[in-house]
């Protein structure tokens, strides 16, 4: 697991690119600048790691585009020590960004092989987080409520069971929509026990959030 000067140089350029596209949060930019994204991809794809694009990571899944990771992270406005639920662990890159931002991370993945691979990998990288194999539509009721929730797969509808795992005053950042038209980034705030407020932030393209765990 080598992080060379060349990688560091490319990473700096990526941070500039993401900043130029509109990301302002210094802590988020710092996290992108620190994380060796090339290690989250197969080594033969080294040269793509610091381009601002999504990339396949196996099992038909992708590591999100760095700008998208930064955008969702910025919307979360994480304060140190906050308990965050992520749906769609994937490569673990977004989860590591959240750890860098000081969050206590709980992340669920429905593909068992990805879950296992990523669990080993983030441990090796030295990141502490709580990873689960399961269905993100159900969330983690026994570990909630959460300060914030981030969904990193395109949800055809708002997962109701996740809403009730939010603390009052907390919010969920989730791309809502289908595969044909893409998704609209949405922030849903739990204003009170029974009241939720919604705000939208433009179009994105994610792999779909699927029901149930994949078969073992
Ligand atoms: N956050 C990831 C992005 C992964 S892509 C990263 O930084 O790399 C989205 C992931 O969501 C995929 O790995 C997919 O398997 C997973 N996913 C889709 N539906 C899910 C569900 N219902 N529960 C948990 N994970 C789900």
Does the CB atom of residue 205 touch ligand 1 within 6 A?
Answer: no
**In Å, how far are 122, 145, 179 from 172, measured between CA atoms?**
24, 12, 21
What secondary structure does DSSP assign to 48-66, as a single string? GTTSSS-EEEETTEEEPPH
Q: Do strands 182-190 and 196-204 pair parallel, antiparallel, or not at all (unpaired)?
A: antiparallel
Residue 162 is assigned to a structural domain of this protein: yes
Number of folded domains in the chain? 1
Cα-based angle 207, 126, 37 (whole degrees, multiple of 5): 40
% residues pLDDT > 70 (the chain): 100
Helical ranges in 127-190 per DSSP H: 160-163
The secondary element (H helix, E strand) that includes residue 171 is strand 166-178
pLDDT at 106: 98
Does the CB atom of residue 115 touch ligand 1 within 6 A?
Answer: no
Residue 122 is assigned to a structural domain of this protein: yes
Q: Whole-prediction pTM value?
A: 0.97
Q: How confident is the model at residue 136 (pLDDT cuts 50, 70, 90)?
A: very high
Residue 47 is assigned to a structural domain of this protein: yes
Residue 216 is assigned to a structural domain of this protein: no
Q: Is 64 a catalytic residue?
A: yes
**In Å, how far are 91, 140, 169, 204 from 64, measured between CA atoms?**
9, 23, 27, 11
Does the CB atom of residue 63 touch ligand 1 within 6 A?
Answer: yes
Cα(163) to ligand 1 centroid in Å equals 18
Q: Residue 143 in contact with residue 164, Cβ under 8 Å?
A: no
Q: Residue 48 in contact with residue 34, Cβ under 8 Å?
A: no
Q: Which residues span the domain enclosing 102?
A: 5-204
Please name the residue that has the structure tokens 């930064």: 70
Residue 94 is assigned to a structural domain of this protein: yes
Residue 198 is assigned to a structural domain of this protein: yes
Does the CB atom of residue 61 touch ligand 1 within 6 A?
Answer: yes
Which parts of the chain are beta strand (E)? 55-58, 61-63, 83-87, 104-109, 130-133, 146-151, 166-178, 182-190, 196-204
Residue 62 has pLDDT above 80, yes or no: yes
pLDDT at 60: 83
Catalytic entry in 59, 64, 73, 192: 64
Residue 200 is assigned to a structural domain of this protein: yes
Q: Residue 52 in contact with residue 18, Cβ under 8 Å?
A: yes
Check residues 98 and 61 and name the one with the higher pLDDT.
Answer: 98
Residue 213 has pLDDT above 90, yes or no: no
Q: What is the CATH number of the domain that holds 22?
A: 3.40.50.150
Residue 214 is assigned to a structural domain of this protein: no
């Amino acid at each position: 697991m080598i992080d060379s000067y060349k990688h560091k140089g490319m990473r700096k350029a990526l941070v500039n690119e993401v900043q130029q596209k509109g990301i302002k949060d210094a802590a988020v930019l710092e996290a992108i600048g620190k994380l060796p994204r090339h290690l989250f991809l197969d080594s033969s794809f080294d040269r793509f790691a610091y381009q601002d694009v999504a990339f396949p990571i196996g099992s038909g899944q992708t590591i999100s585009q760095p700008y998208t990771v930064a955008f969702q992270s910025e919307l979360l406005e994480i304060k140190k020590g906050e308990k965050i639920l992520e749906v769609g662990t994937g490569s673990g890159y977004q989860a590591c960004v959240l750890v860098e931002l000081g969050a206590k991370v709980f992340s669920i993945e429905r593909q068992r092989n990805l879950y296992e691979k990523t669990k080993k990998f983030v441990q090796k990288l030295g990141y502490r987080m709580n990873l689960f194999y399961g269905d993100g539509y159900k969330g983690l009721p026994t570990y909630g409520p959460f300060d914030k929730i981030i969904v990193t797969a395109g949800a055809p509808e708002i997962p109701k069971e996740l809403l009730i795992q939010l603390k009052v005053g907390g919010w969920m950042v989730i791309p809502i929509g289908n595969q044909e038209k893409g998704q609209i980034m949405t922030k849903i705030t739990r204003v009170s026990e029974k009241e939720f407020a919604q705000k939208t932030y433009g179009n994105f393209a994610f792999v779909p959030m699927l029901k149930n765990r994949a078969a073992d």
